[in-house]
Amino acid sequence: MNHLPSSYKVAIWDDSEKRLELEQILDRLPQKELARWALENSRDFLSLIDIGDAGEKNKIIRQAYEAFDARLRNEFSPHELRKAGFAANLLSKNAQNQIAKYAARVFVQAISTAHMRGHAIVSADYAIKVRNLQDADKLELVRQEREKQIRLAESFLANVIDKR
């Protein structure tokens, strides 16, 4: 049974063929590498997060990173990671604008990927939502973002294959 493409969890203007291509690559990544991919993919969006307090923002991000790393080392339970994810969701709830809100969701969903695979594509979709908000009329910006996501996923997959 083919489970791809997965359904969208967020309303976006997208290149569905590029999304499917991305999902097919992500599906081949082991859990830990998928989580690392999602977090790396979210890095470009951290600077777009604005909660009105840079110190608090950085503290929340640091704590989420620590929880993510602890989960990948099996030092945190899924429950502990979920708690950290809920705390990181304050970045979205306290966002000063729509771009900041969805940029925060890119990050929070990436953190959650350390627990559950399905969060990876949701994180990637939120990245597309940010691009939609930045320029609603340009599908080219969406394609560029998906191509960047695909290149990054391919590099993670190549590293997995090299380690075998």
Does residue 3 lie within any of the structural domains?
Answer: no
What is the domain extent for residue 110? 16-163
Structural domain count, the chain:
1
Alpha-carbon span 92 to 106, nearest angstrom: 10
Name residue 92's amino acid: S
| Domain-located, residue 25 | yes
Tell me whether residue 68 is in a domain. Answer: yes
Q: Please tell me the predicted confidence (pLDDT) of residue 3.
A: 83
Measured between alpha carbons, how far is 94 from 101 in angstroms, rounded to an integer? 8
Contact residues for 114 (Cβ-Cβ < 8 A; gap 6+)? 32, 35, 67, 68, 71, 72, 81
* pLDDT value, residue 133: 96
| pLDDT the model gives residue 1 | 42
Report yes or no on 145 lying in a domain. Answer: yes
Per the domain annotation, does 9 fall within a domain?
no
- pLDDT by 10s per residue, the chain, length 164: 468 899 999 999 999 999 999 999 999 999 999 999 999 999 999 999 999 999 999 999 999 999 999 999 999 999 999 999 999 999 999 999 999 999 999 999 999 999 999 999 999 999 999 999 998 778 899 999 999 999 999 999 999 988 76
| Residue 90: inside a domain | yes
pLDDT at 15: 96
Contacts of 53 (CB under 8 A, 6+ apart): none
Amino acid at 29: L
